[in-house]
Structure 1
Amino acid sequence: MVENASGSKTAFVNVRVLDTPGAPQNLIVREVTRNSVSLVWDAPLIDGGSRVRSYIVEKRESTRKAYSTVCASCHKSSWKVGDLEEGKMYFFRVLAENEYGIGLPVETIRPVKVSERPLPPGKVSVREVTGTSITLTWEKPDHDGGSKITGYIVEMQSYDSDKWSQVMVVKTNEALVTGLTQGEEYMFQITKNSLTLTWEPPLLDGGSKIKHYIVEKRESTRKVYSPVTTCNKMSCKVEPLPEGGIFFFRVLAENEYGVGLPAKTIEPIKISENRIIRPQMSTYTVQVGHDLKIEVPVAGHPKPTITWTKDGTVLKQTTRVNVADTAHHTTLTIKDATREDGGMYSINVSNTLGSKDCETDPMYNQTLVVSAGETFSLEANVEGKPIPTAQWFKGTVEVENSARAEIKNTDFKALLVVKEAIRVDGGQYTLVLTNVAGTKTVPFSVKVLDRPGPAEGPLTVSNVTEEKCSLSWLPPSHDGGASISHYIIQKRETSRLAWTVVSSDCVATMIKVTKLLKGNEYIFRVMAVNKYGVGEPLESVPVIMRNPFVPPGSPRELEITNITRDSMTVCWNRPENTGGREIVGYIVEKRDRAGVRWTKCNKRSVTDLRFRVTGLTEDHEYEFRVSAENAAGIGQPSPPTSYLKACDPTFEPGCPTNAHVYTTFSCVLTVFVTNLLQNLLRST
């Protein structure tokens, strides 16, 4: 902006910073076979001001540290890595490249084992048949998928049924099936040890559609989970599993912003013949007046009997309560749920081999949604003998009477009133009722709709140079009841009060800030945004824009050699201090005794420790000095040499050589000395 007494004028200049691209996004292992792995990924969020022209795909074995290049010029966002060794574990990474160089890599989080499911067993043969039994044999699969076959599952189907039921699990290629009905027709099939997992989608999708689920397992004797597969459905068949093995399983949901928290099996599962799989339950959330539906997968052979209870009392079928059982699921449906429907629900699953019990988490939540500034109440009817005492907790902290929170408990009712709700009032509340007979807890969930809280600190400033730096932070602990849509990043110089917007639509929790002024001190701040508004800012500490390195020291021990009438050679040693960066060259200067200014001798940067200076004037005297240069600039010059004259070197004459007799007379001997024709010696 320019301004004078007549007015002002403003002009805008668009600046595009050219740099290498950022890391590619969302690297996913799409398919694994016995000798290949298929990878897919998304383009980088930051392309460095230039179109990404190709990707570099690399791999490394889990037992090694160095990556090797698979494809140096991939022009699409997917690649099938072939020629892998079956049974080995590999890491993979992808780097984007534009015209300014190669960017940061994105890597697979966990190693990928190159293997696949085994092929089906070979031909099944009937070796012996009796009235109530049959002996089966079969051939091994043509390929075991890269892992040892741990067992075979024998399944049976009667002639008048369309369902297969598991009969037994064996380790050999032979099975004796007993307990058959004489005269009935049966079909048999042989599979591998397996387990089917089912789950429900997460209550919160993070503001983005769930892309897929990651299924992992771990043996009970180990602490680390290993990946099994990724799937787009809410069920997965895990196979093969070793008979007798004890496993934990977990499932993680992934959206475009990353992988969420896992849902785990409550107890370990033993892979064995004729087993009952413990049904997995979790906390169910329903608002008063809505229908509650709990569907639980159940498996067992023989077919189990299922019984539902609430707080220890067997549930009965009513017009509101209905229990429906199928071959693989049991479903409890309660219409128009009330507060009294809250409690501990249990399932008992039993057959001739035994029984299992499973409980829901204590009480389903009744979620109360309020806007910021409103007043909300939590209440519950209280019954007990003797009359119980009531306590309210938020999280693990007991709620006390205050100007905004008022507790109004009576002998038969517990009531908590919170006035002018703010963001931090949202969360999990618990009513604890206690008497000599025991303790009962009732949870309540409250969501307060408000602007988000400040981002989690600290706001880290890294990779600081003279004109740019990088910022990173964590999402706010309170999102205000709505997903964070983006962040606003601002900066200001410490000598000023006004803030300037760096980015108003940053969706990641990191950003690269450019166009900063060398030597200036800045403060940065970040604000989260949801659909209810802009949250409170998180500020950084003041940071001065300067390189983390300095110019190098002075070269040492200058020496002048090979002096002629128009040239001299200057030699030196490296500086003791490089300034923290590599020295890229040296600058040689000269000064005539008759002059006052130093003159640069080399047009291009000198990388050697010697330089021949030419173009000198004969009989003039010169002194020289040398300066080193790195990325931070040119360092202090060395002390100058003493003055030296530009002239050809002179030497004293040497001794005569090769003397011989030329002519002999009776009285005169003439001797010629080669190389000294101007001297004539006589003797008599």
Structure 2
Amino acid sequence: MCYNVEFKPKSVDKWGTACTVKVPEATIPNLTPNEIYSFRVVAINEKGKSEPKELGLPVTAKDVAIEPSVNLLFNTYTVKAGEDLTVEVPVRGRPKPVVSWKKDALPLKQTSSVTILNSVTASKILIKEAGREHVGKYEITLANTGGTVSADIGIIVLDKPGPPKAFKVDAVTSDSITVSWSPPDYDGGCSISSYIVEKRDTNSQEWQLVASNVARNAFKAGRLTHRAEDTVVVKSGETLKINADLAGRPAPVVSWTKDGKEIELRARIQIISTETSTSVIIKDCIRRDSGQYTLTLQNIAGTVTMPVKCVILDKPGPCAGPLQTTGLTAEKCNLSWGPPQEAGGAEITHYVVEKRETSRLAWTLVKGDLLKTYLQVTGLLKGNEYIFRVLAVNKHGLGEALQCDTVKITDPFTVPLAPFSVEVTEVTGDSMTLTWSKPVTDGGSPISGYVVERLEKTSTRWIRVNREPVVECTTVARKLRKGLEYDFRVYAENAAGLSPPSPARNESGKYSITLENPSGSKTITYTVKVMDTPGAPQALAVQEVGRGSVTLTWEPPINDGGARIHHYIVERREASRRTWQQSGGKCTKQILKIQNLLEGVPYFFRVSAENQHGLGEALELTDPTIATAEPSSPKRMDILDTTDTSVALGWLKPEHDGGSRIQCYVVEVRAKGTDKWMVVGNTKNLTFSVEKLNKGDEYDFRVKAKNESGLSQPKETLASVLVKEPHIEPAADLSEIINHVCVCVCVSLCSRLLHENAMLSLAVTSF
């Protein structure tokens, strides 16, 4: 029993079969949109077909529009800071509605911590490690041909509150200060219960609790120290002036010190004293000018000292070094450092850690908001060399960098030393029993086994004796050919790899025999040579690179194996391949030009020496060489001089000229913060002065070498250069220097009068 479902468009008279089904229902696909159809059904059994039953009315093929709807599971979501949150909203609508999200009336952008997932029945927001930036009002909007609908969802992240705002001093007396503030912008998802008020003297770094349960936005701090130390705060680049009035009979002797040391007079540092006053003037203040300045007055009646603390507001200095690297493995390492000694007159807010590979010039951000003075850096590439640096940040900007030495990312262990004392203890017609001694050190990783190789005296090819590593320090070499002489060598293996082979020529050298009796002694010296294949050549280097060619040079091996070196075998391989190819045949000199290389392809090269006993060990270049006609990049880009409108640059010649003479050098400049490089000139010299720069701006510079084939890769300055006139100490007459003070901050001191105003720093936190 089955059913035939037939259909007929309104414009057609002939019925067609849509489908055949065994159940009394069917879905008719592939209809023309907005076309009017008639439908009928015919029942079929073993006897035949029934009369058709037609649907009463024609039907138009079109979607039924259903207005979108949102079914919120919750109106508000709460999550602890640092935890993950999933917001799921079931949706309906036909056709499928278009879903859009907003946060605080702005389109919600997907980031590394926010992901939006849409399906037919729901829309989800996935928040990873929720923080304050995720707090707000989220709006979901659904739209289709049936209409548009929106719904709001609130997300609250439970965290510590933000800092109070508008902190100010309202009133000051001789022993108290009244302060006030405004509530923080972010309350951490809960109402503020109270505030904590702390204080510290300006000559101390330690904060002391004043009150811990302040409920209002104002507080009076009492019992403060009368006549606290004078403090002068000056911005970097401004002029500091400390004045003091003098009195005493006879006239006192005046001396100024900074941090306990006598102040050295320089072009920008002056001490001016008269019978009634003295002053210290420091122009163009820098961070190092911060410290305690002490005026000492002395005569026969006594001595008086007046301290003044000076704080220079600036970016922080370098962090306290060295930048230590510990816990080194094949993919991570630990960095640690100390806070900067010069904080720039402001609290250090965080640290920025960066890294770069030694083969690159660009620094990559590792962590940009670090609050601690240590960090574990992960995701490093085994075998690569890295340089790390850390910069402290305060409210005035990014400080100077503390940089570490080059760090090679390897396992904390190395390959073991070579086994030694390899001996043959037993010989048969087709086998030899070998023994040897363990390496002196295992490289920090236990030795997993030993690999034994043999060499027939008439051959140059070493053949492995054991398929699997030998655990003990003995093995039997079988299937040897009767009457032949064999050499054996042994490697030790640990987690880092194979050791060097056991030494085969330790017996070479001078031997002395001494005969002695009561009548005297006699010494005879013999020279013993162990005849073997030569050692590896020395000092393999690339002398010249040209279009499709590389010229190599090297030195003879230290050990010639007791026989004259006949020739050298030079081999090459592409960096992407493992097989070596011989180049240039048998070379009798210690130089070879290898030609017919593919331009732009990196090659590795190695060279082996050969004597009458066979081919020796190979010496391989550690870095690949590219046979290109363009020169290599210039070396060592330096800043020679700066003025308020120009920068003088200098560099060294490229290591390779590409096989043709260097025609000129092209100098380019880029303003800091932009991506566009501009050519400012070319020169045949190794120096160039870039003119018409904007005073006070920072620039990056780079230089390219040019020959007849084209330009080299650029060599950039390591850091941006600030365009300003350098400070040069005058050579002779100081009276001709014009004293021009832009901003003066003066503090008057008097040895006979105590100030009534105390100076105190306060801080407010909330919880």
How would you bin the TM-score normalised by the shorter chain? 0.3 to 0.5
**Greater relative contact order structure (CA < 8 Å, 6+ sep):** 2
Provide TM-score, normalisation by structure 2: 0.32
Provide TM-score, normalisation by structure 1: 0.35
